[in-house]
């Protein structure tokens, strides 16, 4: 709600108020984002508006592109040129960007992408949704690839995860998504606006960047490999070796009162906050209910989920999503050998609605009987 | 004469191309290579390659290259130039790339007045996919997707890119040339050089549209293809300078 | 839950609904409280009702979705009609009587503790119609004790420029008038 913040350096370390859509922009700017390209779409437009002023003030690159397609291809170009670069959009716009994201993934270029998910399919509506889970965790565009996907559930995390996204993108040379939604993007909470410090001690040099070939062999950024022998097989194998490494190194989740719980709610993003409110009410009433919250949905924290079951064999599971059920497939895949199929329940909605603590409590009581 | 033929521009890789006999892309490669050498910009240059027959330009040019998605080279080039304003960015596109799938990108890069040099090779056909109708295919011209010849009704008339771009106030230099004869090849080289110098001198968006042969796509011999430009294409796509804001 | 206040501010776009929410939100930060705020967003830029919800609590605020308001500040008749029945019974409601008919207010004056403020007319008297929102905020803060006075002053400092062109001073004045309810 507060549209502007105190941008003097005195804001650093202080609690400030920004929308989620603005916090991701400020974090990007502090993390050294050189260029931002985007096209307006509700409910993420505040990000573009925020950048349009700050980037000009800082003499960095801001272009309101002619389309989502152009914006993602500008990201492709700027990233290839060695810049730290970001774009943001909401579901229909992200669909348009998928071709470009596939090229960026194939060319092993870093970039940060924000999806403030809204209701779909088609134009859907401008209300919050989590129906882009499949798209973001399975690559999204054509070909075999993955994007690291971080899922904030607070404005502090919007800020912190965006900074981390730039480092992860550069470190692993791949696109990194922040999966937000119409609630997280639009809400305001106080958060600490700290300065950026890199998460890796040694960031790899961008010696592949297009800068003109003075003093070196030409650099080529491409995704075309006409024959398998020409390198497509090797590219895909290299990508998947990298993905395996990331799956081992960068899964993240949060667990709240799962020890001894009779029921564990699995939810991410805005839904996990609503679930947490419900769990507090339920716990007060003596119900043993816990929360398992993925903070990364790719890589998927499946091993953590399995470990949780090892320590708590009696727990049933309730997956809550603002969709008709997408993450639940990952849950079922992870738990297929350790949890009875009919112990995994689902509560979701497809109209851009969100659950409330009360409706979650009702659902939990129904499951626990 | 022999002294001209034996030199190979430094900016062109020492390998044979996959272009068909009589194809205009080989001539264009040579002309760009010569101009790059003459201006001494090979090491400061970033080339954005399109999708189409020239997709493998990264194998033929001895400089930094990015292989773009179909039609998106002007958006990619825009970003590279904004990141490296002191480098030379060449945008190379064909007719399907520039005038069909990438119409929005070229129009808006031009409208923003991006300081780019665009080489637009117009051979009136989709060559790489095997000779389909392009946005610049002539009325009556037979292609694999207009087997009875292109008609205005239902297919539209060929798009005249230079004329259309001339209406955008931020374009600085627009010229249509051809490479069907020595005289026209020399004129094309001069136009390319001018477009490159415009960028180097910070003048702004320049585009050279080059009418080029696709003998295989046109089902003609290389000589007949040259004649086709002379007798058919130039009628519809008049050669000349459409805008030159230096003057 | 017991300390949680869910404040609803509603009115026409342009009446300073969002700004009043900003000031309250900044003040809550200054007072060291937790808060979570959302503003209605829709397809239209003008003509609809604007709404801000600010949840203020001493405890962690988990759910980001709007709870049933238990404090409200309503600036025009359409918002009154739209929201009055969504407010928790027994809540304090500050209404702008310059813009809302007495009959309408009376018809809904059931279990709610309604305080009428002639805010728009008073703001006009002060020479700036735009401060009606902060006058009402002053009444709201005084009536509910939701936040201390000093924090609101600090909140006003974060929301308004203090230089010559800035609106800080007139807004402090507006707040004080509401707070002392010298209307």
Q: Is a pLDDT exceeding 50 seen at residue A2? A: no
Closest CB from A1, A15, A43 relative to C22:
A1
Q: Which residues of B touch A73 (CB under 8 A)?
A: 68-69, 72, 75-76, 79, 105
Query: A213, B87: Cβ pair inside 8 Å?
Result: no
Q: Is a pLDDT exceeding 80 seen at residue C48? A: no
Round to whole Å and give the CA distance between A3 and B178.
55
Round to whole Å and give the CA distance between C72 and C61.
19
* A179: three-class secondary structure by DSSP: strand
pLDDT for the residue numbered B4: 57
Query: A81, B79: Cβ pair inside 8 Å?
Result: yes
Which residues on adjacent β-strands are paired with residue A320? A347
Domain membership flag for residue C23: yes
Residue of A nearest to B104 (CA): A66
Largest CA distance in chain B: 51
Dihedral sign for Cα B79, A84, A51, A164, please: positive
The enclosing domain of C30 has a CATH number of: 3.40.920.10
Mean pLDDT in each 10-residue stretch from start to end of chain B (247 residues)? 68 92 96 98 98 92 97 98 98 98 98 98 95 97 97 98 98 98 98 98 98 97 98 98 86
Round to whole Å and give the CA distance between A101 and A321.
25
What average pLDDT score do residues A284-305 get? Answer: 98
Largest CA distance in chain C: 45
**Is the distance from CB of B82 to CB of A61 less than 8 angstroms?**
yes
- pLDDT tens for B189-240 read 999 999 999 999 999 999 999 999 999 999 999 999 999 999 999 999 999 9
Which A-chain residues 99-138 have CB contacts (< 8 A) with chain B?
A: 99-100, 103
CATH of domain A11-192: 3.40.50.970
A358 CB near a chain C CB, below 8 Å? no
Higher pLDDT, A12 or B1: A12
pLDDT for the residue numbered B38: 97
Smallest Cα distance from A55 to chain C, Å:
23
What average pLDDT score do residues C38-66 get? Answer: 83
Q: Is a pLDDT exceeding 80 seen at residue A193? A: yes
Closest CB from A78, A85, A221 relative to B67:
A221
Write down the domain spans for chain B: 2-14+45-244
Give the Cβ contact number of residue B191 at 10 Å: 25
Confidence of residue C80 (pLDDT cuts 50, 70, 90): very high
Round to whole Å and give the CA distance between A361 and A330.
24
Q: Of C130, C125, C142, whose CA–CA distance to C176 is shortest?
A: C142
Domain membership flag for residue C178: no
Place of tokens 């009536």: C143
Packing angle of the helix pair B103-111, B73-83 (nearest 10 deg)? 40
B87 CB near a chain A CB, below 8 Å? yes
pLDDT for the residue numbered A229: 78
* Cα A224 from chain centroid (whole Å): 28
* Domain, as residue range, for C51: 5-118+140-160
Residue of B nearest to A33 (CA): B83
Rg (CA), chain C: 15
Q: Is a pLDDT exceeding 50 seen at residue C1? A: no
- Quote the percentage of chain A above a pLDDT of 90: 93
pLDDT for the residue numbered A6: 45
Query: A356, C22: Cβ pair inside 8 Å?
Result: no
Query: B75, A218: Cβ pair inside 8 Å?
Result: no
Round to whole Å and give the CA distance between A210 and A109.
12
pLDDT for the residue numbered C163: 74
Q: Of C159, C88, C102, whose CA–CA distance to A17 is shortest?
A: C159
**Is the distance from CB of A323 to CB of A130 less than 8 angstroms?**
yes
Round to whole Å and give the CA distance between A291 and A255.
6
pLDDT for the residue numbered A9: 45
Round to whole Å and give the CA distance between A173 and A164.
13
What average pLDDT score do residues A53-58 get? Answer: 96
Q: Is a pLDDT exceeding 90 seen at residue A8? A: no
pTM (two decimals): 0.95
Confidence of residue C47 (pLDDT cuts 50, 70, 90): low
- pLDDT tens for A205-223 read 999 999 999 999 999 999 9
**Is the distance from CB of B36 to CB of B84 less than 8 angstroms?**
no
Domain membership flag for residue C10: yes
Residue of B nearest to A83 (CA): B83
Query: C62, A1: Cβ pair inside 8 Å?
Result: no
Q: Is a pLDDT exceeding 90 seen at residue A227? A: no
pLDDT for the residue numbered C67: 79
Q: Is a pLDDT exceeding 70 seen at residue C41? A: no
Query: A1, C159: Cβ pair inside 8 Å?
Result: no
A7 CB near a chain C CB, below 8 Å? no
Per the structure, how many domains does chain C have?
A: 1
Assign 3-class secondary structure to chain C: CCCCEEEEEEEECCCCHHHHHHHHHHHHHHCCCEEEEEECCCCCCCCCEEEEEEEEECCCCCCCCCCCCCEEEECCHHHHHHHHHHCCCCCEEEEECCCCCHHHHHHCCCCCEEEEECHHHHHHHHCCHHHHHHHHHHHHHHHHCCCCHHHHHHHHHHHCCCCCCCCHHHHHHHHHHHHCCCC
Query: C64, A273: Cβ pair inside 8 Å?
Result: yes
What pairing do the DSSP bridges indicate for beta strands A61-64 and A35-38?
parallel
Q: Is a pLDDT exceeding 60 seen at residue A129? A: yes
* B211: three-class secondary structure by DSSP: strand
ipTM of the complex: 0.95
A189 CB near a chain C CB, below 8 Å? yes
Residue of C nearest to A45 (CA): C41
Neighbour subunits, C (≥3 Cβ pairs < 8 A): A
Round to whole Å and give the CA distance between A157 and C25.
19
- pLDDT tens for C143-183 read 999 999 999 999 999 999 877 677 899 999 999 999 997 66
What average pLDDT score do residues C86-109 get? Answer: 92
How far apart are the two ends of chain C, measured CA to CA in Å? 34
Q: Which residues of A touch C62 (CB under 8 A)?
A: 273-274, 276-277, 280, 357
Write down the domain spans for chain A: 11-192, 254-368
**Is the distance from CB of B242 to CB of B209 less than 8 angstroms?**
no
What average pLDDT score do residues A26-35 get? Answer: 98
- pLDDT tens for B92-110 read 999 999 999 999 999 999 9
Q: Is a pLDDT exceeding 60 seen at residue A243? A: yes
Fold topology of A254-368: Rossmann fold (3.40.50)
Q: Is a pLDDT exceeding 60 seen at residue A10? A: no
The tally of CA atoms less than 13 A away on the side-chain side of residue B92 is: 27
Mean pLDDT, chain A, as a whole number?
Answer: 95
Cβ within 8 Å of residue C3, ≥6 positions away: C57, C58, C59
Chains C and A touch (3+ CB pairs under 8 A): yes
What average pLDDT score do residues A106-132 get? Answer: 96
Closest CB from B42, B43, B76 relative to A73:
B76
Neighbour subunits, B (≥3 Cβ pairs < 8 A): A
Fold topology of B2-14+45-244: Rossmann fold (3.40.50)
């Amino acid at each position: 709600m507060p549209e502007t913040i105190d941008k003097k350096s005195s804001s650093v370390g202080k609690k400030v108020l920004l929308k989620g859509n603005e916090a991701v922009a400020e974090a990007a700017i502090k993390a050294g984002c050189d260029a931002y390209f985007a096209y307006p779409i509700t409910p993420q437009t505040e990000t573009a508006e925020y950048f349009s002023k700050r980037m000009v003030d800082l003499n960095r690159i801001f272009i309101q592109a002619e389309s989502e397609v152009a914006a993602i291809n500008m990201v492709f170009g700027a990233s290839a040129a060695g810049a730290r670069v970001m774009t943001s959009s909401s579901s229909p716009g992200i669909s348009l960007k998928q071709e470009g994201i596939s090229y960026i993934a194939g060319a092993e270029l870093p970039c940060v992408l924000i999806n403030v998910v809204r209701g779909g399919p088609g134009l859907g509506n401008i209300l919050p949704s989590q129906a882009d889970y499949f798209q973001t965790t399975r690559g999204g565009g054509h070909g075999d690839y993955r994007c690291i996907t971080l899922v904030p559930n607070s404005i502090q995390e919007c800020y912190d995860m965006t900074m981390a996204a730039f480092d992860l993108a550069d470190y692993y040379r791949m696109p990194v998504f922040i999966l937000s939604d119409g609630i997280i993007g639009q809400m305001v909470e106080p958060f600490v606006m700290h300065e950026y410090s890199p998460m890796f001690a040694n960031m790899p040099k961008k010696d592949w960047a297009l800068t003109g070939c003075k003093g070196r062999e030409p650099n080529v950024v491409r995704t075309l490999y006409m024959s398998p022998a020409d390198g497509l097989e090797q590219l895909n194998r290299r990508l998947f070796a990298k993905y395996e490494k990331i799956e081992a190194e960068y899964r993240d989740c949060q667990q709240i009162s799962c020890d001894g719980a009779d029921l564990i709610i699995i939810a991410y993003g805005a839904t996990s906050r609503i679930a947490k409110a419900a769990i507090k009410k339920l716990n007060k009433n003596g119900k043993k209910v816990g929360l398992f919250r993925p903070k990364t949905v790719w890589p998927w924290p499946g091993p953590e989920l399995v470990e949780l079951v090892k320590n708590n064999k009696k727990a049933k599971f309730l997956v809550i999503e603002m969709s008709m059920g997408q993450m639940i497939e990952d849950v079922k895949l992870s738990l297929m050998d350790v949890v009875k199929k009919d112990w995994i329940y689902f509560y979701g909605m497809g109209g851009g609605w969100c659950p409330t603590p009360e409706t979650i409590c009702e659902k939990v009581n129904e499951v626990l009987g | 004469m022999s002294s001209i033929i034996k030199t190979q521009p430094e900016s062109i890789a020492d390998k044979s191309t996959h272009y068909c006999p009589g194809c205009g892309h080989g001539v264009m490669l040579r002309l760009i290579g010569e101009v790059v050498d003459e201006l001494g910009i090979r090491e400061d240059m970033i080339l954005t390659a399109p999708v189409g027959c020239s997709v493998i330009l990264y194998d033929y040019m001895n400089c930094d290259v990015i292989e773009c998605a179909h039609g998106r080279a002007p958006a990619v080039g825009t970003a590279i130039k904004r990141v490296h304003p002191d480098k030379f960015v060449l945008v190379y596109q064909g007719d399907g790339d520039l005038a069909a799938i990438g119409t929005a990108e070229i129009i808006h890069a031009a409208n923003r007045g991006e300081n780019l040099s665009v080489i637009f090779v117009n051979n009136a056909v989709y060559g790489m996919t095997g000779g389909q109708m392009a946005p610049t295919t002539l009325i009556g011209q037979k292609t694999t997707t207009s087997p009875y010849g292109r008609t205005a009704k239902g297919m539209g008339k060929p798009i005249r890119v230079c004329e259309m771009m001339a209406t955008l106030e931020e374009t600085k230099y627009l010229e249509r040339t051809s490479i069907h004869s020595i005289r026209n090849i020399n004129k094309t080289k001069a136009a390319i050089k001018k477009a490159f110098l415009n960028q180097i001198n910070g003048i702004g968006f320049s585009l050279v549209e080059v009418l080029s042969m696709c003998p295989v796509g046109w089902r003609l011999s290389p000589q007949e293809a040259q004649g086709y430009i002379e007798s058919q294409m130039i009628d519809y796509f008049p050669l000349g300078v459409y805008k030159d804001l230096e003057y | 839950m017991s300390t949680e206040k869910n404040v609803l501010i509603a009115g026409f776009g342009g009446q300073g609904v969002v700004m009043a929410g900003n000031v309250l939100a900044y003040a809550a930060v200054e007072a060291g409280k937790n808060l979570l705020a959302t503003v209605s967003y829709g397809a239209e830029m003008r003509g609809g009702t604007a709404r801000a919800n600010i949840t203020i609590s001493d405890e962690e605020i988990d759910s980001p979705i709007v709870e049933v308001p238990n404090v409200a500040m309503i600036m025009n008749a359409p918002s009154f009609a739209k929201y009055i029945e969504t407010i928790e019974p027994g809540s304090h409601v500050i209404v702008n009587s310059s813009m809302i008919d007495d009959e309408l207010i009376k018809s809904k004056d059931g279990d709610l503790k309604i305080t009428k403020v002639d805010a728009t007319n008073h703001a006009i008297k002060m020479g700036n119609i735009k401060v009606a929102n902060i006058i009402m905020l002053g009444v709201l803060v005084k009536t509910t004790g939701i936040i201390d006075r000093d924090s609101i002053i600090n909140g006003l400092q974060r929301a308004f420029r203090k230089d010559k062109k800035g609106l800080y001073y007139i807004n402090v004045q507006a707040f004080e008038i509401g707070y002392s309810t010298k209307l």
